[in-house]
């Protein structure tokens, strides 16, 4: 059905232009954002819905699938304010975002709670940041696997990780894997690693 025809029907049915505009906008959102996204969806967002209160409705309408990912990336480039909302819904999107997001500690703490395997996309700076890795261990003890080499040799971080999961011993430096205290605590915490 033609968009102008829909608009004409709405104008005959309602006297209030605000209601007509709102219903028409919802119709467009449903038509262009609930199925697979395309270039028309991107243009419509850019020309009509950017900087409006419809962002959350649009984000909730979008069905995440492999085909829509290409267009979702285009949307977040157009409107940076959507990025964090999309990351909340689709954490794997971090893989495709620019460096500033991959180097953002708050972003990673949020998305790791949804999908802990995404820590692998953190920047090298974050992977080398002792405080960040410590926070990640609280959420996902195996985060130490992605830490820089010197942090895998950090006794306190190692202790923290193996207290949560004894099998983490396999990700530690060889010096710590052979530390009697680390081995003892690891065994007490479901240790299954074999040397």
Residue pair 151/157 in contact by the 8 Å Cβ criterion: yes
The predicted-structure confidence for 24-74, as pLDDT tens digits, reads as follows: 888 889 989 987 789 999 999 999 998 888 888 888 888 877 777 888 888
Report which of residues 81 and 128 the model is more confident about: 128
The predicted-structure confidence for 154-184, as pLDDT tens digits, reads as follows: 999 999 999 999 999 999 999 999 999 999 9
Report the pLDDT averaged over residues 75-101. Answer: 85
**What is the C-alpha separation between 76 and 71, in angstroms, rounded?**
9
User: How many CB atoms sit inside 10 A of residue 154's CB?
Assistant: 20
Q: Over 90: is that where the pLDDT of 143 sits?
A: yes
The pLDDT, as a whole number, for residue 195 is 46
Residue pair 71/42 in contact by the 8 Å Cβ criterion: yes
**What is the C-alpha separation between 162 and 184, in angstroms, rounded?**
10
The pLDDT, as a whole number, for residue 8 is 72
The predicted-structure confidence for 102-121, as pLDDT tens digits, reads as follows: 999 988 888 988 999 999 99
Band the pLDDT of 192: cuts 50, 70, 90.
Answer: low
Name the average pLDDT for the chain: 87
Report which of residues 44 and 3 the model is more confident about: 44
Alpha helix (H) residue ranges in the chain: 3-13, 17-33, 39-44, 55-61, 66-78, 81-89, 99-102, 105-112, 124-127, 130-139, 149-152, 155-164, 174-177, 180-188
> What does the domain layout of the chain look like in residue ranges?
1-85, 90-195
């Amino acid at each position: 059905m033609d968009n102008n025809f829909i608009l004409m029907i709405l104008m005959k049915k309602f006297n209030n232009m605000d209601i007509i505009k709102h219903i028409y906008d919802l119709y467009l959102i449903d038509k262009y954002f609930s199925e697979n996204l395309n270039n028309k969806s991107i243009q419509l967002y850019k020309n009509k819905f950017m900087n409006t209160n419809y962002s959350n409705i649009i984000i909730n309408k979008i069905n995440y699938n492999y085909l829509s990912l290409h267009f979702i990336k285009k949307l977040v480039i157009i409107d940076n304010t959507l990025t964090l909302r999309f990351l909340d819904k689709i954490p794997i999107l971090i893989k495709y975002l620019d460096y500033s997001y991959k180097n953002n500690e708050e972003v990673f703490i949020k998305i790791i709670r949804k999908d802990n395997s995404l820590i692998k996309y953190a920047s090298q700076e974050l992977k080398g940041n002792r405080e960040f890795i410590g926070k990640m261990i609280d959420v996902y003890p195996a985060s130490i696997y992605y830490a820089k080499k010197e942090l895998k040799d950090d006794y306190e971080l190692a202790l923290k990780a193996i207290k949560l999961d004894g099998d983490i011993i396999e990700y530690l430096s060889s010096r710590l894997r052979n530390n009697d205290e680390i081995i003892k605590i690891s065994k007490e915490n479901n240790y299954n690693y074999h040397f």
